[in-house]
Structure 1
Amino acid sequence: MEAAGAMAGRRIRVRGLVQGVGFRPHVWRLARVLDIAGDVANDGEGVIIHAWGDPAALDGFQDRLRREAPPLARIDAVEVFPHRGPAPHGFTIAASAAGLARTGIVPDAATCPACRAELFDPADRRQGYAFGNCTHCGPRLSIVSAIPYDRANTAMAAFTMCPDCAAEYADPADRRFHAQPTACPACGPRLWLEPAPEAGADPLDAAAALLRAGGIVAVKGIGGFHLACDAADAKAVAELRRRKARDAKPFAVMARSVDEVGRYCQLDDAARALLQSPAAPIVLLPRRPDGAPLPGGLAPDQDHLGFMLPYTPLHHLLMARVDGPLVMTSGNRSDEPQVITNEDARARLVGLADAWLMHDRAILNRLDDSVVAATGGAPAILRRARGYAPAPLPLPPGLDGLPPTLAMGGELKATFCLLREGQAILSQHIGDLENAAALDDYRVLLRLYRDLFDFTPEVIAVDAHPDYLSTTLGAALARECGARLVSVGHHHAHMAACLADAGIGLAEGGDGTFGLILDGLGLGADGTLWGGEILRGGYRGVTRVAHIAPVALAGGAAAMRQPWRNLVAQLRQAFGETWRDQAAPVLNHLPPAAHVAVLERMLETGTNAPPCSSAGRLFDAVAAALGIHPARIGHEAQAAMALEALARPHVATARPYPAAFGGDVPVVVGWAPMWRALLDDLAAGEAPGLIAARFHLGLVEALVQATGRVGAGPGALVALSGGVLQNRIILHELQARLRAAGWRPVIHGQVPANDGGLALGQAVLAALIADGHDRAKPPGI
């Protein structure tokens, strides 16, 4: 026992994101205030503190370590042990121990309030400097090349600190203590504009003038280039779409402040917090009906806009020079990854930009802007990248002690995941691996993460689809490093990702759990394509107990680009060869009869028309019936997103369309009754928005009924995952109906419901299989 008033010694272990975030100087300052002696150091497990003092002071010290942690720190655990030995004089920051790779790198962070104030302070030496930062903000993952995370292993190695910056860097009382990217106008990166403005002109002033005049400027950010234009200038927005060959995909918009965002969109406290958070993501927000006008071309067919705030000093300085919000869309040609080097920007953005706002700090690792939905309920990450990756995710109870596992993810929205020691490290969004540049990025980042985290996998998890490039790469890597290769079912991985994301442990996520998985498609256990599934089981394995009725994917990949194909396939499935007799209200949305006849022959013979239980293709079919992009969509889910926006005003008053149920186990949900009612509504001239709402509610009602038919008992967990669950109507209505039925819906929070979160589920399932000890058995799918 420690006697009151006596000197006591304690060894305090702090785990979490506690390196590179100013945690050691935070400990040093607290110790000095509380008259505690000892030392603090980084090591391979986090931060280790040796502390001597009065027991009451030590108790207060431990409490304040948690409560007053630096802004970018995340404390996962504080472990306290008695410590013997003589007390030293004073408190010091000790040299770091080896093995730092075990704690990782924190994400890039938006400019903190103190650095932002310096930008506009005439008395500060960093006034107007586009690259100021401190321990609480600035680039991290985007500039790092190796561990340990020090200046020599970052893009800042090219810049030697001046005496003033070096003094701040060495002073534990300064917020720039050991801030590796620290710099100032005397010693740091510089900014310029190409083509060069007239002699003596400020590059930011010249760029802002060009933007105000309707021009398009390539702006080098923290994780890649953006293409910027005046968001209120319809001609500039249309010209940017023309140059990028980007017909309809929404543009992200940057505003100077939360108040400016509020002029255009509805804001609640959660949205405000997200916009102003260190992650500074793009936040999808509902337009204000009475809001200030913005061109419809920013987000065609959508009732939401994606807004973000300035997150670097350069952005703050640029936004202060313009009159309103700017488009800030990825600096690339359509479907290519974002450009990150000055050379590539000059070459690949020629013809897209009128000028280039450049600097000489290299971007070593590409980071797209993260995207979060915040329209009611808990925020949901749709794209996890800058500001979130590579922060590790703690795994739920029962999933510790698993072998080191690398999960390779899927083919689209690719990410990979490292799992070890009770944590999962999910990479940033990389993109679609069918794109050669994205595939190259995937390989480079995989090597980087393995180096940064000193990671050698014992298990490699891949999707069950043998033709995915991620599967091929995983198999090759398993041979190279002698790891065990485990194939994981696509939809089981979605379910496991949702459970792990929501903190559902191994015991809780057992055999009585259900997974309601809705997406475009993935390979099922029976070798067919799935995409609208109800699974029963949990981490240890699942059974397919219900699904949407399979409908031919007419033309294979073409059906994912041309919604009319799915409409014809659905109508033929519902009404047989006489489908045209029922389909008069939608025939004008179909191509010439000769094209339809070719597709019908494909359906009759099964040629390039595999059956698929896809929820995503059902959305495309209904959208096509309403005349929403029936011929072709310009980006994934374009038709479904437009259908959702059309439905939203009518959800509160609409009645659900009916569905049909067949079979025992699995229950098969058919849509012939829905199609009959929908066509009747079209013929009667009902509003398209009402029809869209009835479809959404009918899908929800059918899925809830099917869940009841397959034996979900009171209180059963129902995991909701897959790309379709990014539809906020479907997500919210499903949660409400499931709760009303006495079940517990489980949703994503920290990782995307789409394939961007797939690798987390793969990693957990493969590690459990490899671990054995009856903790898991191979999944059924």
Structure 2
Amino acid sequence: MQYLRVQGLVQGVGFRPLVYRLACELGLQGRVYNTPAGVCIELQGDAAALRQFEPRLQDRLPVIARIDRIERVTMPDEPNLVGFCIQPSQDEIHDSGEILPDLAPCDDCLAELFDPRNRRWRYPFINCTRCGPRYSILRRLPYDRHNTSMAMFPPCPSCLHEYDSPADRRFHAQPNTCSDCGPSVWVETVDGVRLDEADPLEQALDTVRRGEILALKGVGGFHLICDARNPDAIARLRQRKQRPHKPFAIMAANTQSLDPLVQLSEIATRWLAHPGTPIVIAPCVRQGMLPDTVAPGLNGLGVMLPQSPLHWLLFHEAAGRPVGTDWLVQSQSLLLVMTSANLSGEPLIHTNADARTQLRDIADRLLLHDRDIVQPQDDPVISVLAASGAWGRRGRGVSPQSIKLAVTGPPMLALGGYLKTSLCLSQGPRAWLSPPLGDLASVESCRRLQLQVEQLPALYGVTPAQVSVDLQPDSYGYRLAQQFADARNISLSPVQHHHAHVAAVMAEHQLTGPVIGLALDGLGLGEAGELRGGELLKVNASGHERLGALKPLPLPGGDRAAREPWRLALALLFQLGREDLMAERFGHQPLWQEVAQMLRADINCPPSSSLGRLFDAVAGLMAVCDVQTFEAQAAMLLEAQVRQLPEPDASLWRVSDGNCLDLTPLLQRLLEMDNAPEGAECFHANLIAALAAWAGKAAHEQGISDVILSGGCLLNSWLRTGLVDALQRQGLTPRLPINLPPGDAALSLGQVWVSIMRANVERERGQG
């Protein structure tokens, strides 16, 4: 008998039914079953048939499946073994398996959804082995119905027959359900009155068409929805959600409906068709197609396609309930603003109870269902404003994420940082990165982090030997990590913020160093508590060395300066010796004189080497943005001013003592420019050239070819592509995040990588 343990994305993808069918075709006996460690296959029979099994398995692997490893053991045959079966899963085995993200409806399910002759016509929870809910409904591994929120919906005889039929697409589909046995959907008023007099989808669409706001329970949490063509509805949504300027995403039925709105490149079209249905930020085609308030001041628009049958049914209703699927490739007039249902800064709402209490002053109607969301996740976002995509956020549909590591070490848990907090867990050669959990600015966000710190290791069956976190001792995440370590008598291993940024990209590219790293972001603490964010590092297995940094800029008012770019622009004028321009440029700000006095007296003006704050300062200087109402607003508005980059001028930067990159000449040049686009283009072109020359010189001096580009500033498409081109022209190998966000959501992976490397170095020293 051959015993195979298969690891990878092999649960919830129709893998066991495939094994069953192959074994039966080849006349083999045995069994297949899920464990938290993967899928186990026991086979015996004709030797020639056994040899054919694995090649056929690889050839017929479901598109969404992935085999990472197969362990093989030969055992004695079982006498009297007859036939092949799918056995119940083994819950008692604890080892780390893979978890599949939630998947949008497949083509076959959509065909049934819009076929009046099918028993699942217009059923909002249709799914099969190729699509449907996965991670969002999972309580524990292995992925079986009783371990999900579908456990409360026992299958009816018809669904059970499909589940047990090897030839059926729903053979062993764990969430398989129908209107006779599964979840149901309904509409409520904000006062909790259930409206059963009409079809729920008809009522939901009528709510949107009246210019009202609909709260819809989606896959990973609630969405707030309004008519994207109705400026009054958009204004109402912004006012109620307290989101005055942050861009909204648009959901459309298909790419044909999006063609008049955005320029869809090949990569944009590919990501729109991805089963994870991310929000894709693409260049706007022309203004005036939608109200300016959808994405004010920006040259990119976030667009997405329906992520669930429930979302699809809104478009089906708007199209007049057409029969068949021809309408799916025809332009549809309905365009929906789609935004997460939460107040700004608060966690995503995912329960009916919270929706009823927290959305009563935002939504006009609630479209609810009774399938619990166990693992809440926000929508993923990828920008394709440049030639290659850059993840702004990984979430529902593309998370949790498995990363293969170049080295192995003790099992680790990392808690990330203060913003865009995520968890990362490792065991052996793999790490698992959670969806982002939000910022730790609210009590609810902290509670959610605490819950996930307990749940994630249990979900994967991993017992961490060490815990890591950002080097910020006064943060809630740091205290929680310390409590976790103390309770289990394991060590805490804090990692400096920018070291972790570089290490995350190294982990993704399976590099162990040495590398040169540019870590460019908004803010992170250094070892001595100083404020950093424009860092040139050398990183290897034993640690990191700070080779240089941007010239620091004072932040008058500390954190408040990050929200008010005019303060940073005033600091620039002070630093450049141009106090004579303060009143002329910022006299309209009521506190400008007080801030100027703070700068002169050096009171509450901590210096920071942050590139993110420099972007804010330049945006304030060019009158692009005085006050920010959402993170990175000033930098995004400044980026949107750029149409093309001029030739850089090498006289506009210098490197001073301590390898400090000083952009004073460039900033002085900007003072002479009254035109915001001209200033933005000059700043971008020379910043890119200066950073590339600075990093390139360090790489050549150190004899290192790999240059890591990391940090949230790399979401700027001009900066990202410009640095890659400039470094390549120097014969270097720039390394960007590919399947990771460049910002803080990947910090926990970097922390895991650093902790593993530290543990291995310490072990080698002990052995020496």
Contact preservation (8 Å) 1:461, 1:762: yes
Give 1:153's match in structure 2, choosing from 147, 156, 162: 147
> What is the CA–CA distance in structure 1 between the aligned matches of 2:5 and 2:644, rounded to whole Å?
55
> What is the CA–CA distance in structure 2 between the aligned matches of 1:645 and 1:429, rounded to whole Å?
26
1:137 maps to 131
Given the alignment of the two structures, is residue 47 of structure 1 paired with residue 39 of structure 2, yes or no?
A: yes
Give 1:708's match in structure 2, choosing from 685, 696, 719: 696
- Report deviation, 1:740: 0.4
Give 1:367's match in structure 2, choosing from 377, 383, 387: 377
TM alignment of 1:467-506, pairs within 5 A? 467-504=474-511, 506=512
> What is the CA–CA distance in structure 2 between the aligned matches of 1:329 and 1:558, rounded to whole Å?
27
Deviates more, 1:737-746 or 1:332-341: 332-341
1:394 maps to 404
Contact preservation (8 Å) 2:31, 2:42: yes
1:115 maps to 109
- Report deviation, 1:589: 4.2
- Report deviation, 1:639: 0.6
Give the letter aligned to residue 639 of structure 1: A
Contact preservation (8 Å) 2:624, 2:676: no
2:560 maps to 558
Give 1:626's match in structure 2, choosing from 618, 622, 628: 622
User: Match of 2:487, SS?
Assistant: helix
TM alignment of 1:271-420, pairs within 5 A? 271-289=268-286, 293-322=289-318, 323-395=333-405, 397=406, 399-400=407-408, 402-420=409-427
1:6 maps to none
For residues 361-420 of structure 1, what are the alpha-carbon distances to aligned partners after superposition, in whole Å with 9 as ceiling and x for unaligned? 12222111111122343322211111122232211x2x12x1111111100111111111
Given the alignment of the two structures, is residue 763 of structure 1 paired with residue 719 of structure 2, yes or no?
A: no
> What is the CA–CA distance in structure 2 between the aligned matches of 1:516 and 1:265, rounded to whole Å?
32
> What is the CA–CA distance in structure 2 between the aligned matches of 1:69 and 1:326, rounded to whole Å?
36
For residues 151-190 of structure 1, what are the alpha-carbon distances to aligned partners after superposition, in whole Å with 9 as ceiling and x for unaligned? 2332222222111112222333322233222211111111
For residues 687-746 of structure 1, what are the alpha-carbon distances to aligned partners after superposition, in whole Å with 9 as ceiling and x for unaligned? 421210110111111111212333536761011100101111100000000000111000
* Aligned-CA RMSD value: 2.3
Closer, same or farther: CA 41–638 of 1 in aligned 2, 3 Å: same
Give the letter aligned to residue 182 of structure 1: N
> What is the CA–CA distance in structure 2 between the aligned matches of 1:628 and 1:45, rounded to whole Å?
53
Deviates more, 1:201-210 or 1:603-612: 603-612
> What is the CA–CA distance in structure 2 between the aligned matches of 1:485 and 1:710, rounded to whole Å?
32
Given the alignment of the two structures, is residue 733 of structure 1 paired with residue 730 of structure 2, yes or no?
A: no
> What is the CA–CA distance in structure 1 between the aligned matches of 2:699 and 2:459, rounded to whole Å?
46
Give 2:466's match in structure 1, choosing from 449, 459, 466: 459
User: Match of 2:591, SS?
Assistant: helix
User: Match of 1:756, SS?
Assistant: helix
Give 1:697's match in structure 2, choosing from 676, 681, 685: 685
- Report deviation, 1:317: 0.4
Contact preservation (8 Å) 1:241, 1:247: yes
2:598 maps to 602
Contact preservation (8 Å) 1:546, 1:710: no
Contact preservation (8 Å) 1:104, 1:452: no
Contact preservation (8 Å) 2:394, 2:740: yes
TM-score normalised to the size of structure 1? Answer: 0.91
Closer, same or farther: CA 712–524 of 1 in aligned 2, 3 Å: farther
Closer, same or farther: CA 566–112 of 1 in aligned 2, 3 Å: same
> What is the CA–CA distance in structure 1 between the aligned matches of 2:668 and 2:89, rounded to whole Å?
70
Contact preservation (8 Å) 1:264, 1:292: no
2:218 maps to 221
1:580 maps to 579
Give the letter aligned to residue 449 of structure 1: L
TM-score normalised to the size of structure 2? Answer: 0.93
Given the alignment of the two structures, is residue 72 of structure 1 paired with residue 64 of structure 2, yes or no?
A: yes
Closer, same or farther: CA 656–301 of 1 in aligned 2, 3 Å: farther
Closer, same or farther: CA 589–259 of 1 in aligned 2, 3 Å: farther
- Report deviation, 1:335: 1.9
- Report deviation, 1:199: 5.9
> What is the CA–CA distance in structure 2 between the aligned matches of 1:746 and 1:258, rounded to whole Å?
31
Contact preservation (8 Å) 2:36, 2:142: no
> What is the CA–CA distance in structure 2 between the aligned matches of 1:419 and 1:228, rounded to whole Å?
38
For residues 492-541 of structure 1, what are the alpha-carbon distances to aligned partners after superposition, in whole Å with 9 as ceiling and x for unaligned? 0000001112232x2xx22xx10001001111134311100110132321
> What is the CA–CA distance in structure 1 between the aligned matches of 2:426 and 2:398, rounded to whole Å?
17
User: Match of 1:127, SS?
Assistant: coil
**Tell me, which stretches of 5 or more residues in structure 1 are unaligned?**
1-8
User: Match of 1:603, SS?
Assistant: helix
For residues 431-455 of structure 1, what are the alpha-carbon distances to aligned partners after superposition, in whole Å with 9 as ceiling and x for unaligned? 1101111111111222221221122
> What is the CA–CA distance in structure 2 between the aligned matches of 1:712 and 1:117, rounded to whole Å?
58
- Report deviation, 1:671: 2.0
2:638 maps to 643
> What is the CA–CA distance in structure 1 between the aligned matches of 2:517 and 2:638, rounded to whole Å?
25
> What is the CA–CA distance in structure 1 between the aligned matches of 2:723 and 2:359, rounded to whole Å?
43
> What is the CA–CA distance in structure 2 between the aligned matches of 1:164 and 1:549, rounded to whole Å?
69
Closer, same or farther: CA 277–678 of 1 in aligned 2, 3 Å: same
For these two proteins, the number of residue pairs brought into alignment is 746
Give the letter aligned to residue 693 of structure 2: Q
> What is the CA–CA distance in structure 2 between the aligned matches of 1:564 and 1:773, rounded to whole Å?
48
- Report deviation, 1:192: 0.9
Give the letter aligned to residue 580 of structure 1: E
Contact preservation (8 Å) 1:530, 1:614: yes
Give the letter aligned to residue 255 of structure 2: V
Contact preservation (8 Å) 1:280, 1:308: yes
Give the letter aligned to residue 494 of structure 2: S
- Report deviation, 1:133: 1.2
Closer, same or farther: CA 754–199 of 1 in aligned 2, 3 Å: closer
> What is the CA–CA distance in structure 2 between the aligned matches of 1:77 and 1:150, rounded to whole Å?
22
2:180 maps to 186
- Report deviation, 1:12: 3.4
2:324 maps to none
Give the letter aligned to residue 494 of structure 1: H
2:326 maps to none
Closer, same or farther: CA 448–620 of 1 in aligned 2, 3 Å: same
> What is the CA–CA distance in structure 1 between the aligned matches of 2:136 and 2:216, rounded to whole Å?
16
- Report deviation, 1:747: 0.6
Contact preservation (8 Å) 1:159, 1:189: yes
> What is the CA–CA distance in structure 2 between the aligned matches of 1:187 and 1:237, rounded to whole Å?
38
Contact preservation (8 Å) 2:395, 2:436: yes
